[in-house]
Amino acid sequence: MSIEELFIGSEAGNAAYRAAMEQATDAVVDSVTDTETPYSGRSPTELAGQLTEPVIPEEGMQLNATIEDVAKTVLAHSVRTAHPRCAAHLQCPPIIPGLAAEAMLTATNQSLDSFDQAPAATVLEQRVVDALCDLFGLPDGADGIFTSGGTQSNFQALLLARDWYCAQEFGRDVQAEGLPTEASSLRIVCSEAAHFTATQAVHYLGLGEDAVVTVPTDDAHRIDTDALDATLADLDRRDCDPFALVGTAGTTDFGSIDPLTDLADRAFDHGLWLHVDAAYGGALALSDEYDDRLVGIDRADSVAVDFHKLFYQPISCGALLLRDEQQFGWMARNAAYLNPEDHDDAGVPNLVSKSVQTTRRFDALKPYLTFRTLGRTGLASLVESTLTLADDASQLLADADDFRLVNDPTLNAVVFQYRPETNMDDDAVSRLNAAVREELLAEGRAVVARTAVDGVTSLKFTLLNPMATLDDVAAMLDIVRECGTAVRTESGVVV
């Protein structure tokens, strides 16, 4: 291959680009078309056995041969996110406008860390962020930044909250001086169902995970506000310094949404930063039918939202939104080569100061193309259809004698246990459901998640796919039954 054929721009390069993209597109289409199952069922060992080509060969080979090889060894053994029986995690089928945007943003390779590396992209990201602040009802003066996802958004939100609190409470400039001597009394408060990345962030922030105070949840897996009040009073008595309250809009297991208005009231009364982790449930803001479930989110100091979940964008795509743009100041810095101070004075857009990343993808293009193609209501109707499906699925489970429905879904996560006999004890249920899950993946006929509910291993559908129907759910339950019977026969348990 000539050098020209390796880069877009020349006639030869453009032709090579088109050919490679066409072949790659065909390979993707072939890998997902007419497949009976969401996964081929290959085990880690089997996959390792078929991926033996040298990763860094001395001499290369033709690109089309490599793409062909990848199609056979990798794409064919990938989870098919658009398959109606792929229903395990918050892993969406990526929407075509998002995929088209992905192709454009990667090929142009704009980097959002400075205006001169991404002129129009910089301006567009800011416009998308402004529209998102409006969507969530944040006031004038709100701002945000695209992130790699909820993990990064939660981390950055709690970092800003910590530094804001230390400045006002202890007169400490954490960016310059590090943690104050009072750091060991700092606490963040969240429910026991909050995402693990909130706890992880507190570790990264140098406060230690013991600084996370978890509050029990109610029957619907939302933070229990009476218990929250007791917790806050207790922290007060013990002279602790809670600085952030984390609410979750869409917990990973149950999709439950904390009572955000109550949390906003508590945050106000106690001078806490309210962070709402809406990585999963944020998409309800699109829906006229369901946006009332997020009431109170407009009072948050910060909101984490993921577009690579219920907004159907290819990974990665998330954002952190802040009620007050000034709060980004806790992490701002000027680098002579990227955003010198005289640029700030001249009004040159400067996104790097708002991000924990430097080189950063133009992920904002993906929701932009999607919003403009479908409109708010078009995208909302996809989300709404999955919530309807989850309700119908839970009814199906509730009506079945051999299943126990564990939650009444708020979003589209449905948790259940396979209990073919009424008198099974919890240990037996745990063993059976764990074994069934393994068998499902090994067969590849349905991709279903597992979780633990009050110590009992349970199964979970995350019904993100707007193309899935109740028949698909019923088929998955039948497959669970078949696997369950096979597992019990194998283990010698009388069926």
If one asks whether residue 280 binds ligand PLP (CB under 6 A), the answer comes out as yes
Question: Is there a contact between 458 and 450 (Cβ–Cβ < 8 Å)?
Answer: yes
| Smallest distance, ligand PLP to C-beta of residue 62, A | 36
If one asks whether residue 277 binds ligand PLP (CB under 6 A), the answer comes out as yes
If one asks whether residue 151 binds ligand PLP (CB under 6 A), the answer comes out as yes
Question: Is there a contact between 416 and 397 (Cβ–Cβ < 8 Å)?
Answer: yes
Alpha carbons within 13 A on the beta-carbon side of 104: 14
Question: Interacting stretch for ligand PLP, rule CB under 6 A, among 108-116, 166-174, 273-281, 414-422?
Answer: 273-281
Of the candidates 84, 98, 144, 150, which one interacts with ligand PLP according to CB under 6 A? Answer: 150
> What angle (nearest 5°) sits at the alpha carbon of residue 154, between those of residues 149 and 158?
155
CA 140 to chain centre: 27
Binding-site size, ligand PLP (CB under 6 A): 15
| Smallest distance, ligand PLP to C-beta of residue 315, A | 8
If one asks whether residue 195 binds ligand PLP (CB under 6 A), the answer comes out as yes
Closer CB to ligand PLP, 275 or 488, in the complex: 275
If one asks whether residue 90 binds ligand PLP (CB under 6 A), the answer comes out as yes
In 264-401, where do the E strands start and end?
273-278, 302-306, 318-322
> What angle (nearest 5°) sits at the alpha carbon of residue 114, between those of residues 110 and 116?
75
| Smallest distance, ligand PLP to C-beta of residue 283, A | 11
If one asks whether residue 256 binds ligand PLP (CB under 6 A), the answer comes out as no
Residue 341's contacts (CB-CB under 8 Å, 6 or more residues apart) are: 334
If one asks whether residue 149 binds ligand PLP (CB under 6 A), the answer comes out as yes
Question: Interacting stretch for ligand PLP, rule CB under 6 A, among 31-39, 276-284, 418-426, 467-475?
Answer: 276-284
If one asks whether residue 318 binds ligand PLP (CB under 6 A), the answer comes out as yes
If one asks whether residue 197 binds ligand PLP (CB under 6 A), the answer comes out as yes
CA 10 to chain centre: 39
Closer CB to ligand PLP, 89 or 343, in the complex: 89
If one asks whether residue 248 binds ligand PLP (CB under 6 A), the answer comes out as yes
Question: Is there a contact between 274 and 247 (Cβ–Cβ < 8 Å)?
Answer: yes
94 in helix, strand or coil? Answer: coil
If one asks whether residue 350 binds ligand PLP (CB under 6 A), the answer comes out as no
If one asks whether residue 466 binds ligand PLP (CB under 6 A), the answer comes out as no
If one asks whether residue 250 binds ligand PLP (CB under 6 A), the answer comes out as yes
DSSP string, 101-141: HHHHHHHHT--TTSGGG-HHHHHHHHHHHHHHHHHTTPPTT
If one asks whether residue 300 binds ligand PLP (CB under 6 A), the answer comes out as no
Question: Interacting stretch for ligand PLP, rule CB under 6 A, among 27-35, 226-234, 248-256, 268-276?
Answer: 248-256
* Interatomic CA distance for residues 154 and 272, integer angstroms: 16
* Interatomic CA distance for residues 201 and 154, integer angstroms: 7
Burial bucket for residue 434 (CB in 10 Å: 0-12, 13-18, 19+): middle
* Interatomic CA distance for residues 138 and 143, integer angstroms: 9
If one asks whether residue 98 binds ligand PLP (CB under 6 A), the answer comes out as no
Closer CB to ligand PLP, 157 or 405, in the complex: 157
Residues in touch with ligand PLP (CB under 6 A): 90, 149-151, 154, 195, 197, 248, 250, 252, 277, 279-280, 306, 318
